[in-house]
Amino acid sequence: MDNHPIGIFDSGVGGTSIWKEINALLPNEDTIYLADSRHAPYGEKPTKEIVRLSIKNTELLLAKGCKLIVVACNTATTNAIDYLRKSYNIPFIGIEPAIKPAALQSQSKTVGVLATKGTLSSSLFHSTTVSHANGIKIIEQVGKGLVPLIEAGKINSPETKSLLVTYLKPMLDAGIDFLVLGCTHYPYLIPVLEDMLPTNVKIIDSGEAVARQTKAVLSKSGLLTSSNEKGKHQFITNADLRILESFLGDYSTSIKTDYQDF
């Protein structure tokens, strides 16, 4: 048993979609969430810079006593998790686009993946695609511009909708029946996407799988909390606190949020 908090970081507010899944499955665990919004988007940065930012976030969470770290960012996972696992002596949970379940269920044998440039160009994404997508056509699309719009709270804006129309077109023309959301910011676009996609196209993301994996690793490592009380949560951002709070919705009243310069 270990009552230290779980650390979670993302390039910004997107990883709150993962935090919600973790909190739903592990309600007694304390958590500390870092939103590195000042340096978003990570997806357009070189690998070296993504690794440097991931180290900075990890060290901050370790200094706060975290027992395990969830890298709630596909871009940071695919570019930096190998380095983090080699460098620090705690478990790391990562997130990658859910190619495998989409490929297994696709009837049209054609799957779309919307993710950042950093994720789609990573060697980890390529090895996952090769091992899970046998015989399936994968239509990759960089979601350039979407993360800054989401970070600005412009989810339902005409700019966001117009980018999505452009990005979905080649996938729909190719006949996808699954759309994989390969960025933790994108689950916040689901209501907009559902209005745009034909009903036969299913949207899939990795949030629930990450929560299950977090629970399994905590349990296997003897790190689950012994507390029976609701967990305490701290959310830290280095940008606009109100934007972060808007992504927490109803939770924001029961959660401590802070601005910190990091």
Tell me if residue 66 is catalytic.
no
- Contact between 184 and ligand DGL per CB under 6 A: yes
Give the residue with the Cβ less far from ligand DGL, 117 or 215.
117
Instruction: Note if 183 is an active site residue.
Output: yes
- The yes or no reply on residue 54 touching ligand DGL (CB under 6 A) is no
- Residue 133 as a binder of ligand DGL (CB under 6 A): the answer is no
Q: Which of residues 135-174 bind ligand DGL (CB under 6 A)?
A: 147
Under rule CB under 6 A, how many of the chain's residues touch ligand DGL?
16
CA distance 224 to 258: 26
C-beta of 115 vs 224, nearer to ligand DGL? 115
Among 26, 32, 35, 73, the one annotated catalytic: 73
CB of 222 to ligand DGL, least distance (A): 29
Q: Among residue numbers 58 through 87, which ones bind ligand DGL (CB under 6 A)? A: 73-75
- Footprint on residues 14-53 left by ligand DGL (CB under 6 A): 14, 40-43
Q: Which of 40, 183, 204, 211 is catalytic?
A: 183
User: What residues are annotated to the active site?
Assistant: 73, 183
Binding site for ligand DGL (CB under 6 A): 10-11, 14, 40-43, 73-75, 116, 119, 147, 183-185
